[in-house]
Structure 1
Amino acid sequence: MIVAIVLIGVVAVLRPMLVLQTVVAFVTIAYTAALAFRVVLVYAAGRGQHQVRVSDEEARAVPDADLPVYTVLVPAYREPDVIGLLMQHLGAIEYPRDKLEVILLLEEDDRETIAVAQAALAGSWAQILVVPESQPKTKPKACNVGLERATGELVTIYDAEDIPDPLQLRRAVVALRRLGPSYVCLQAELSYFNVDQNRITKWFALEYATWFRSLLPGLVALRMPIPLGGTSNHFRTRELRDLGAWDPYNVTEDADLGIRLARSGYRVGVLWSVTLEEANSDFINWIKQRSRWYKGYLMTWLVHLRSPRATFRQLGWRGLLCLNLFVGGTPLAALLNAVLWATTLLWFLDRPAVLQEIFIAPYYYLGLFCLVFGNATVIYLNVLSVRTMDRPDLLGTALLSPGYWVMMSLAGAKAAWQLVFKPSYWEKTTHGLHLPKTAAAPEVADV
């Protein structure tokens, strides 16, 4: 990469227009490929059912004695306001208490959350594990500490604000037994319980619906790596340990883990079961969260391209395509959007001759195709999510998607900056924003 940058710099001094034309051509082709890739994923997902479905009857039919010990890791940091709700939601899980190991992972310096959790968990079947102060202070580091304590045959992660499907653990047990040992992970669908809070939460909900109902099933259909979400992924514990668990320095640790699972020959399925999360409703908070996700995707992309021949040998051309167009392409497109929008605006305002030289004919028309038909396609995918969610009231939000893209571009720029200067910094996002400011502390369920 350093050699390439130096060569580009030298050529840019000698032939600046050639470099600009080449960069524009490369970016335009990459955009077109990324758009086509997403359309193919949605088409592949629509051709058949690629989620593992376990009915309520099948899930409850397994005798308690035949269920394995299941470990639930719940990392939380500065979350005192949601601990009571967390215990209510975990208490609703339909799984025998003597087979359910819940470990609440709290950081040593978070005394307030520790105190609230100790009061809430007094006499309950859940346990608190205090993660010693150390660097990096990240969620995957905490999960690795929890995994050392875990005794379950299966393990999953829930965030502190999650509301999991009460039968999700039972469904995962049945599904993994049905699929066989080649499948070591199942990703459940994530959605939001505060969709209608404001415009940001509505955009967020539409994006998640597209992601979990179209794009991930499409990856499954095409036998490509699955970048996992940060919660509700269910693992076989032994294989997870053998793989080295989570990378504590990666701030989108489960996307990285999904790629490593594929490189090791393991398969990942998508489980038909929904965990409800809290959608970020605050602009600043959303930027913090999204920039962290983008930074982690860029980190994952770069890490797995350190040895491109080895990656290609292990993933094949399909996996390498997914790594570049999906994992790397998602944050890079968000980052470059603002530059290309500014270029387009500049053309309409002033029509500088240099732009006409940069955009030579073939790539100009390809870029125009992306601008008109590509953006229309992405908006259409959001409209399609309106239909799959059965929420016609969100149609207006889907049509206003370009406003959401502006937010993504800001997050992409911040992610690129932090990747260079603060790569493993975990920017904390606040949860509980859906709760009324004056609400009393929720009662804790008898669990």
Structure 2
Amino acid sequence: MTGELPGLATESERTRALHVAVHGLREKNPMASASVAFLPWQRNTLLAALLIVVVCVLLAPMPTVIVLVAACTLGYLAVIVDRVLIFTRGMARDAILTVDDERARALPDDRLPPYTILVPAYGEPEVVGDLIAALNGIDYPRDRLQALLLLEEDDSPTIGAAHRAGIGSAGSEHITIVLVPAADPRTKPKACNYGLHAATGDIVTIYDAEDIPEPLQLRRVVAAFGDLPRSVVCIQAKLAFHNARQNLLTAWFTMDYGLWFGFLLPGLMRSSSPIPLGGTSNHFRRNVLIDIGAWDPYNVTEDADLGVRIAARGYSTAVIDSTTLEEANPDPINWIRQRSRWYKGYLQSWLVHARRPVQLWRKIGPVGFLRFTLILAGTPIIACLNLLFWFITLTWIFGQPGIIEKVFPAAVYFPALLVLVLGNAATVYMNLVACRENDRPDLLLACLTSPAYWLLMAVASTKGCWQLVRNPSYWEKTFHGLGTTKEAE
């Protein structure tokens, strides 16, 4: 059903809510908004660096290429070493919060805080029925649970599907449709900002339209917040996929998430570094979320951006052992659309937070600043450079041209060889460990063939880097409903 909600009851309130959803962060803190991708000094610095490289190539081509290859090799090495360090921290038993079923169910209903679930959806009529079933399966008292289905007002197919699914009927009274006025940018964070004006919960979380959250997740989060200091303002749940066995791509995707949410995010939590949040199942203290400006509607990875902003304000994020099942993209083209947006958003977020590097360094510390750079800037750039270095490697294997030998003198060749052999082996090994610890022996083939998955990542990253220059705030839609029948793996 749709209805009058707190903060959205009148036309003036809806107009105000839309204005804040689109412009609120930019007006409150322009330097934190990605509405402008490159500040003049950032653009000029990048152009000056490119000009210097071009001049050096013209004047001294071989020494310049050697220096560039050495710098890229050093970047590769830094990213891999840091990733292994984070992984080892994430293997500790206390790296992730655990609230058992008995304790979660023992929380008295009258002691549970009001909770709001935001579910943005656009052009997804095929998954609405499953969404309603998932929301109805959450174990939380209905009089303290508010679920807001955020639909664009001109998205007639999804609106119609939501009504046909029985929203507002018996058992679904806690679910309300909120029609988001059509306005650019057409992004998920804009819809979430709009819905936040109607939120009444002390805790706010986001689920995507295809999500199947673990029924006790909200209760576990409440218990975890009760144990944690007030400085912890966000709890991120783990994400996994219900269609891992659909094809090799979904298996790779599941393997990737198992490592990221099972070990790397917990490792970041233990290191007190900024945590790039997942786009769903992150649970916030609403008052703090509003205070720090909520989501940036111009950032295409609003979750990663918000994770850094949380750390920069002196707060922290925890990771909880509760899983939300999603649909892994089984189609390579659809997967590349999604992953290229993530890579673009990582770079977008890095550019935003690096606008005042000295100030950020002081707020999150030197280790946090280095790790923030290696993850948000290093991950997409290294993935993009893979295409170039794989081409060089294949060229040497099949043709052995002398020029390649010249650009890899001993001081560059041996570190590059170390990165190639040990770096790739370490990544495969981490995936294998993650699959073993997550009890996923069915992903063994995916782990052993993961280098082919990296090729897809390289293509997606190259596309994302290009889009950052051409169309930075464009939200490339990911199509859902392509997966197999939803079954807990």
Normalising by structure 2, we get a TM-score of: 0.87
Confirm whether residue 395 of structure 1 aligns to residue 444 of structure 2. yes
Could you report, residue by residue, the CA deviation over 1:194-215 in whole angstroms, capped at 9, with x for unpaired residues?
1111100111111100001111
Q: Cα offset for 1:435?
A: 4.6
Please, what is the CA RMSD of the aligned residues?
A: 1.3
Q: 2:467 aligns to what SS in structure 1? A: helix
Confirm whether residue 233 of structure 1 aligns to residue 282 of structure 2. yes
CA distance in 1, matches of 2:399, 2:186: 49
Q: Cα offset for 1:352?
A: 2.0
Equivalence for 2:249: 200
Q: Pick from 275, 278, 297: which aligns with 1:248? A: 297
CA distance in 1, matches of 2:402, 2:431: 37
Confirm whether residue 431 of structure 1 aligns to residue 480 of structure 2. yes
Whichever residue aligns with residue 76 of structure 2, its letter is Y
Confirm whether residue 39 of structure 1 aligns to residue 96 of structure 2. no
Whichever residue aligns with residue 75 of structure 1, its letter is P
Q: Pick from 61, 76, 79: which aligns with 2:106? A: 61
Q: Cα offset for 1:59?
A: 1.2
Q: How does 1:119-198 map to 2 (within 5 A)?
A: 119-120=164-165, 121-123=167-169, 124-125=172-173, 126-198=175-247
The answer (yes or no) to whether the contact 2:243–2:484 under 8 Å persists in 1 is no
CA distance in 1, matches of 2:335, 2:215: 28
Equivalence for 1:92: 137
Q: How does 1:400-419 map to 2 (within 5 A)?
A: 400-419=449-468
Equivalence for 1:304: 353
The answer (yes or no) to whether the contact 2:273–2:372 under 8 Å persists in 1 is no
CA distance in 2, matches of 1:435, 1:205: 14
CA distance in 1, matches of 2:445, 2:483: 22
Equivalence for 1:12: 57
Q: Cα offset for 1:325?
A: 1.2
Could you report, residue by residue, the CA deviation over 1:90-111 in whole angstroms, capped at 9, with x for unpaired residues?
0010111110010000112211
Q: 1:156 aligns to what SS in structure 2? A: strand
CA distance in 2, matches of 1:211, 1:161: 20
Equivalence for 1:443: none
Q: 1:133 aligns to what SS in structure 2? A: coil
Whichever residue aligns with residue 115 of structure 1, its letter is G
Equivalence for 1:332: 381
Q: 2:117 aligns to what SS in structure 1? A: strand
CA distance in 1, matches of 2:123, 2:464: 23
Confirm whether residue 257 of structure 1 aligns to residue 310 of structure 2. no
Could you report, residue by residue, the CA deviation over 1:299-350 in whole angstroms, capped at 9, with x for unpaired residues?
1111111221111111111111111111211111111101000011111222
Q: Pick from 65, 68, 73: which aligns with 2:118? A: 73
CA distance in 1, matches of 2:313, 2:440: 40
Q: 1:382 aligns to what SS in structure 2? A: helix
Confirm whether residue 50 of structure 1 aligns to residue 95 of structure 2. yes
Whichever residue aligns with residue 208 of structure 2, its letter is D
CA distance in 1, matches of 2:147, 2:91: 37
Equivalence for 1:353: 402
Whichever residue aligns with residue 165 of structure 1, its letter is E
Whichever residue aligns with residue 282 of structure 2, its letter is N
CA distance in 1, matches of 2:111, 2:220: 13
CA distance in 2, matches of 1:315, 1:40: 18
Could you report, residue by residue, the CA deviation over 1:198-237 in whole angstroms, capped at 9, with x for unpaired residues?
1001111111000011111111111111100000000000
Whichever residue aligns with residue 64 of structure 1, its letter is D
Whichever residue aligns with residue 345 of structure 2, its letter is G
Equivalence for 2:427: 378
Q: Which portions of structure 1, spanning 4 or more consecutive aligned residues, are displaced by more than 6 angstroms?
A: none
Q: Cα offset for 1:398?
A: 0.8
Confirm whether residue 23 of structure 1 aligns to residue 72 of structure 2. no
Q: Cα offset for 1:44?
A: 1.3
Could you report, residue by residue, the CA deviation over 1:161-188 in whole angstroms, capped at 9, with x for unpaired residues?
1010111111111101110210000000
Q: Cα offset for 1:23?
A: 0.9
Could you report, residue by residue, the CA deviation over 1:246-289 in whole angstroms, capped at 9, with x for unpaired residues?
11111111001001100100010001100011111111111111
Could you report, residue by residue, the CA deviation over 1:378-403 in whole angstroms, capped at 9, with x for unpaired residues?
11111112201212232122101111
Whichever residue aligns with residue 80 of structure 1, its letter is P
Could you report, residue by residue, the CA deviation over 1:355-384 in whole angstroms, capped at 9, with x for unpaired residues?
222222112111111111111111111111
Q: 1:49 aligns to what SS in structure 2? A: helix
Q: Cα offset for 1:82?
A: 0.9
Q: Cα offset for 1:8?
A: 2.4
Q: Pick from 300, 304, 317: which aligns with 1:268? A: 317
Structure 1 portions without partners, runs of 5+: 440-447
Equivalence for 1:442: none
